[in-house]
Amino acid sequence: MTPRRTPLSQLEQGIPFEQRHIGPDAGAQAKMLAQVGYGSLDELTAAAVPDVIKSAEALNLPSARTEAEVLAELRSLADRNKVLAPMIGLGYYGT
């Protein structure tokens, strides 16, 4: 079975990043869980992740940002790059 691809026309209409890139939908998740013998992602995680590495504390993560916000930040970081003359292969060595 070939994977279903989202047509470019839909991508150009602004489908949110999450829907384009983040994991399977609920139906696909249910099929995968049934295949491996678990009823939920929590059950699968409980079976797969050793107790010694689990944390009872919530992660202190920043709030989610939009795709446009992330792209703007990446552009800002890229703009800080400086194009310099490469010196690889010119006989330099650090000893």
For residue 73, the model assigns a pLDDT of: 95
For residue 45, the model assigns a pLDDT of: 93
pTM of the model: 0.43
Q: Can you tell me whether residue 26 is helix, strand or coil?
A: helix
Least confident of 3-7, 25-29, 43-47, 73-77: 3-7
Q: Can you tell me whether residue 4 is helix, strand or coil?
A: coil
Residue 33 has pLDDT above 90, yes or no: yes
Residue 15 has pLDDT above 70, yes or no: no
Shortest CA distance to 25 belongs to which of 10, 50, 44, 4? Answer: 4
Least confident of 46-50, 64-68, 77-81: 64-68
